[in-house]
Amino acid sequence: MKAIAIPDTRADSPPASASNPDRKPEARGFRRVVPGLCVVFLAIVLGAPGCADDPVDRQTAELYRQGNLLYAGGKFAEASRTYERIIERGIRNGHVYYNLGNAYYKQDRIGRAILAYERATRLMPRDRDLHTNLDLANERTTDQIAGEVPWFGRQALDGVTVNEATVAATAAGFLASLALVCYLLARRPRTRSAAGYALLVSCVALFSATGFLGIKIYDNLANEEAIVLQPTAEVRTGPDASSEPVFTLHEGAKVQLVEHRDGWFRIRLPDGKNGWLSQDDLEGI
């Protein structure tokens, strides 16, 4: 999937000492090694998946412009189809999903609007306007399912994207490498001591950032979620249409996917209820 550098154009924002001969070998070592590390660091960061946006091709940029013009003209169905064409081209961008959600919301397609907003939050987790619109859409759903207030760790995970965590881990790795080079090349005890302290701190930062990145990736893989898109969906005791229904969900309900079997998903709600739902009734975030 590609990410593109689409500007933040929103369809509907709601009411951001060289003379010392003893030091010459050290200086030469730094001049040779440090610039090389900088080049490696930049190459890693710029080459990290999703860290550097691919250039926007003219057709995609034109589609985005057309979608915004259609939305501004009140042609919400046409605008949503235009934004969908961008996504079909393999573009994964938070602003596109945000505008798509707004276009769906204006059509009273609340399930689709929530799905688009939720996908946008994976790419722009700290955008206040986005969260405001998502809350407004959730207020219009039939199923007002109460869940536990997320603890600090959960909020930290949800507030950072995988790409951002990758950049942080890469930066910490670069600083640790730089500190190690300084430690190895330092000749004076005081300089070596300072470099050793910097190495210790950067290693702690590296392990912390790498650990957070690993947890974030695991969380994304383990906690799959979906949105109900049908007006009504019967949750059953087993993965077949003949099983007894236990409760009903409605359009816009957010569920966690626990298990998949023969076209059915075992789902769990924030309040602990669970059962089996046909894959035709929902779509993964």
**Domain residues of the chain, as ranges?**
58-140, 154-222, 224-284
As a whole number of angstroms, the distance between CA 46 and CA 160 comes to 19
Domain 58-140 has what CATH class?
Answer: mainly alpha
The alpha helices in the chain, defined as continuous H runs, are: 24-47, 58-72, 76-88, 94-106, 110-123, 128-139, 152-158, 162-185, 189-222
166 Cα distance to chain centroid? 11
Closest by CA position to 253, among listed 149, 150, 144? 144
Instruction: Say yes or no: do domains 58-140 and 224-284 share a fold.
Output: no
Only one residue has tokens 């990290």, namely 48
Q: What pTM does this model have?
A: 0.75
| Tally of CB atoms within 10 A around 22 | 9
Check residue 114 and give its pLDDT.
97
The pLDDT mean for the chain works out to 83
Residue corresponding to tokens 């809350």: 135
- Measured distance CA(233)–CA(2) in Å, rounded: 33
Looking at residue 270, its amino acid is P
In the chain, the amino acid numbered 74 is: G
Backbone angles phi, psi at 91, to 5 degrees: -85, 130
> Are residues 254 and 227 in contact, defined by beta-carbon separation less than 8 angstroms?
yes
Q: Is 254 left (phi over 0), alpha (psi -120 to 50) or beta?
A: beta
Backbone φ and ψ for 226, nearest 5 degrees, come out as -150, 165
pLDDT digits (tens, 9 = 90+) for 191-249: 899 999 999 999 999 999 999 999 999 988 888 999 999 999 999 999 988 999 999 99
What is the enclosing helix (H) or strand (E) of 274? strand 274-278
Helix (H/G/I), strand (E/B), else coil: 21: helix
Q: How far apart are CA 226 and CA 81, in angstroms?
A: 21
What distance in Å separates the CA atoms of residue 86 and residue 251, rounded to the nearest whole number? Answer: 25
Q: Which CATH number applies to 224-284: 2.30.30.40, 3.30.70.20, 3.30.465.10, 3.40.718.10? A: 2.30.30.40
pLDDT per residue as tens digits for the range 16-60: 433 343 444 444 444 444 455 454 444 444 444 444 444 568 888
CA pair distance 281, 264, nearest whole angstrom = 10
pLDDT in tens, 101-147: 999 999 999 999 999 999 999 999 999 999 999 999 999 999 887 76
Tell me the pLDDT tens digit for each residue of 245-284: 999 999 999 999 999 998 999 999 988 899 999 999 999 9
**84-105 as b/e: b if 16+ CB within 10 A:** bbbbeeebbbbbbbbbbbbbbb
